[in-house]
Amino acid sequence: MRPVPRWALLSSGCAPVLLAAGWATAQYLEGPAYDPINQTISVLAAYGAAGFWVMTGALLALGACHLLTAWGLRPAALAGRVALAAGGVAALVVAFLPVPSSGGSLRHGSVAAIGFALLAVWPVLAADRDGSAPWGLRPLPSLAATALMGLGAVWFLIEINRHGPAGVAERFVTCVQSAWPFVVVASCLRHPDNGGRPEE
């Protein structure tokens, strides 16, 4: 197994922290006019939003983290690494295509949907069928992660269409998608072939 560099733990661990810190700070700057239950993260990064620069910075940081993690996650199958990196690029593009202050944006929505899809399928594409693979790259956990992300995305679409708590659904799926690379990297670093402790 090709070793995973320890800096990948930093890049993957920073992704969910920076994303959550970004939306929390942007929400604080926006004040009570913003409803985190029903409104999406994109509203915080919209033109004219009080926390526009914070949320845009968080999306840029998220994309950079995914790109670095994909580069360092050497034991993962190439297709999975490419999908993770492409998901990072999608986050960068979304940051440069904010929604307008009112209404939606087809370009923003399309790129966001592609990013969601790429980050949902990368665990399955990265999986290694070898029984000695790190836990995070084994087929069953990878399939479970993809299924959870897919269900989260379906939940988000349902809530968007029925004007329900879309903000909650979006935060759920983005949290899972941003945290899973950290789980995979940590499992690789603990693997004996990477110099870590043997897995149970």
Quote the pLDDT of residue 194.
62
Quote the pLDDT of residue 101.
66
Residue 103: Cβ-neighbour burial (10 angstroms; 0-12, 13-18, 19+)? exposed
Quote the pLDDT of residue 137.
92
Quote the pLDDT of residue 197.
47
> Strands, DSSP E only, in 68-179?
none
Quote the pLDDT of residue 199.
40
Question: Does the model's pTM come out above 0.85?
Answer: yes
Cα→Cα distances 193→29, 38, 138, 160, 190, Å: 46, 46, 15, 45, 9
Mean pLDDT, consecutive 10-residue segments, the chain of 200 residues? 87 96 94 91 88 94 97 94 97 89 76 93 91 87 95 92 90 95 94 55
Residue 142 to residue 120: CA distance in whole angstroms = 10
DSSP reduced 3-state for 20: helix
Contact 179, 2 (CB under 8 A): no
